[in-house]
Structure 1
Amino acid sequence: MKTLQDKKAILCDMDGVLYHGNRLLPGAKEFIEWIKKEKKKILFLTNSSDRTPVELQQKLRRLGIEVEPKNFYTSAIATAQFLKKQCPQGSVYIIGGAGLVHALYEAGFSVNDVNPNYVVIGETKDYDFDKVEKAINLVLAGAKLIGTNPDTKDRIGNGFTPGTGALIAPIEKVTGCQAYFLGKPNPFTMSQAMKKLNAKKEDTIIIGDRMDTDIIGGMETGIETVLLLSGVTTQSTLKQFAYHPDYIFQGLIDFVKFCTQEGETPNVFQYNRFSFIPLSG
């Protein structure tokens, strides 16, 4: 069994791991430096669908981190790839951001607000009653309902904002149709990410802050999981889940210290059958 330090590839969440909003979290720069120094493969696997890979690159650049667009895989891209396999050259009605519109356009889809094949919902601030009403009636007329990810809330600053799962809920409620969600932990999304990363399962870890997407997605993919308590999941909410991560760190800075063996040994925990057991650095 390979240790964390020996893993060759990393799937990594972004919000709650690298940053909160426009604030870089401790250890983010050191993490990227370690990745580059050790020549690890890295793919930022995000359930965000409102930005394109280039826009995500620019966001990280503004925060002082340089990453290539090829190192991002968004739920918008996963959604577009899935729908392309299901209905090539189809049409969509979209409630979502520029990243989702761009991904669907690149996949060959046209926008249609009369009789689309799909109604696709992603996180967006451009959300109003008229658009929801339109989406409801299109679904009732036969369009399939798709969500870019199942997240019900996303962190923003010190609080939260409604996620795709919350934005799509009124449409599900009125139509009686259950949406199909892409993004993490959807098996299609995870398998496409692993294919893009081009790494073996035993050589890969996933790092994230959410039990219901990052950790279960990694578990069901067969890769080791690292939970950071710097985002959505806390030590108290962790108890609500019937499954657990392989490792837990307070934040990315502790993960980096553990992997580089630099500075004071951080508190890191690994699960045994019954409880957490501390690991020495």
Structure 2
Amino acid sequence: MLVKPRGLLIDLDGTLYHGRHRIPGADRLINSLKDQAIPYLYVTNNSSRTPEQVAIHLQGMGIPALAEEVVTSSLAAAQYVAEESPGAKVAMIGEEGLMQALNAAGLRIVEDSPEYVIQGIDRSFHYDKLTLAVRWIQEGAISVLTNPDLQLPSDTGLMPGAGSIGAAIEAASGIKPIIIGKPSSVLMKYASDRLGLVPGEIAVIGDNIRTDIAAGAHAGCQTILVMTGITTTLNMNEHLESTGVKPDYICQDLSEVTKLLCP
């Protein structure tokens, strides 16, 4: 039986939408949570967008959203580094969402002798950036990866994700990065703190056992898998075996999630 959560962390792509298309029931789920005053945050591994951009994307599909309801791997990465080394010099490999997060956290973006190399998705990545990142890391800079996703969905098909760039940097430098996004619990702790709740009071909703559900389980949250995205009946056993994680609840669609949380 579900222990009624005091707050929710909700994945986006594959859970509430596919690209630019809303998954049926997404708007009703969010409106039901609002009606019952259940706090929630949208939590995404995507490091390229700012919270404002994510909220606009959701609003465009008819899903209620405010920037302050959005948590990204960029925000969590910036806070992680700022807490470890306030005002640190950082080299950034990424896009607007990461740059804004680093600046807001008071970190100094530099192009020489960084203390950290912070890397997210970068669709202008090239060999010279790889070379510099590897040299900085080998000289002692700490490698931080916003999220390990190897692939990124787009309207034209799958693209290499931040994790693919990270794999190249790791292979060339020989140094494993600190991973912030799902399935790491770092992002979930950041989001839990934003809600003002402890993980045991929170349920995580997501479509991917390997990322969303694993991250929630590692953080100590309840987990709700919805069969609208990456994990399917065909690959579920593979996902369960590869992670060693089992969701607390499995819902076939978002209407089942709504009934579970807002009976």
Question: TM-score of the superposition, structure 1-length normalised?
Answer: 0.86
Structure 1 residue matching 2:34: 3-state secondary structure: helix
| Structure 2 CA distance for partners of 1:259 and 1:178, relative to 1, 3 Å | closer
Q: How many residues align?
A: 259
Structure 2 residue matching 1:36: 3-state secondary structure: helix
**Which of these residues, 3, 26, 43, is aligned with residue 41 of structure 2?**
43
1:245 aligns with 2:232: no
- The alpha carbon displacement at 1:104 in A equals 0.5
**Which of these residues, 70, 73, 76, is aligned with residue 71 of structure 2?**
73
1:20 aligns with 2:18: yes
State the partner residue of 2:257.
Answer: 255
Q: Could you list the per-position Cα deviations for residues 26-46 of structure 1 after superposition, in whole angstroms to 9, with x for gaps in the alignment?
A: 111111111111111001111
What is the root-mean-square deviation in Å for CA atoms of aligned residues? 1.8
Any unmatched runs of 5+ in structure 2? none
How does 1:136-175 map onto structure 2 within 5 Å? 136-157=134-155, 159-175=157-173
| Structure 2 CA distance for partners of 1:250 and 1:161, relative to 1, 3 Å | farther
CA contact (8 A) 1:155 1:231 kept: no
Amino acid at match of 2:258: V
Structure 1 residue matching 2:140: 3-state secondary structure: coil
Moved over 3 A (4+): 200-203, 257-261
Q: C-alpha separation between the residues in 2 aligned to 1:202 and 1:146?
A: 27
State the partner residue of 2:86.
Answer: 88
- The alpha carbon displacement at 1:2 in A equals 4.2
Structure 2 residue matching 1:35: 3-state secondary structure: helix
Question: TM-score of the superposition, structure 2-length normalised?
Answer: 0.91
Structure 2 residue matching 1:30: 3-state secondary structure: helix
Q: Could you list the per-position Cα deviations for residues 139-170 of structure 1 after superposition, in whole angstroms to 9, with x for gaps in the alignment?
A: 22222211001222232247322221111111
- The alpha carbon displacement at 1:257 in A equals 4.3
State the partner residue of 1:102.
Answer: 100
Q: C-alpha separation between the residues in 1 aligned to 2:251 and 2:217?
A: 17
**Which of these residues, 203, 207, 210, is aligned with residue 209 of structure 1?**
207
| Structure 2 CA distance for partners of 1:234 and 1:111, relative to 1, 3 Å | same
Amino acid at match of 1:254: E
Q: C-alpha separation between the residues in 2 aligned to 1:258 and 1:109?
A: 42
| Structure 2 CA distance for partners of 1:66 and 1:181, relative to 1, 3 Å | same
1:123 aligns with 2:121: yes
Structure 2 residue matching 1:66: 3-state secondary structure: coil
CA contact (8 A) 1:17 1:251 kept: no
- The alpha carbon displacement at 1:205 in A equals 0.8
- The alpha carbon displacement at 1:183 in A equals 1.5
Q: Could you list the per-position Cα deviations for residues 258-281 of structure 1 after superposition, in whole angstroms to 9, with x for gaps in the alignment?
A: 5455xxxxxxxxxxxxxxxxxxxx
Larger Rg: 1
Instruction: State, as a whole percentage, how many aligned pairs show the same letter.
Output: 33
Structure 1 residue matching 2:144: 3-state secondary structure: strand
- The alpha carbon displacement at 1:237 in A equals 2.0
Farther off after superposition, 157-166 or 102-111: 157-166
Amino acid at match of 2:110: N
Structure 1 residue matching 2:197: 3-state secondary structure: coil
Farther off after superposition, 164-173 or 234-243: 234-243
Q: Could you list the per-position Cα deviations for residues 70-98 of structure 1 after superposition, in whole angstroms to 9, with x for gaps in the alignment?
A: 11111101000110111111111111110
CA contact (8 A) 2:10 2:43 kept: yes
Any unmatched runs of 5+ in structure 1? 262-281
Q: C-alpha separation between the residues in 1 aligned to 2:200 and 2:177?
A: 33
Farther off after superposition, 156-165 or 93-102: 156-165
**Which of these residues, 5, 12, 32, is aligned with residue 7 of structure 1?**
5
Structure 1 residue matching 2:24: 3-state secondary structure: coil
CA contact (8 A) 1:96 1:123 kept: yes
Structure 1 residue matching 2:113: 3-state secondary structure: coil
| Structure 2 CA distance for partners of 1:110 and 1:25, relative to 1, 3 Å | same
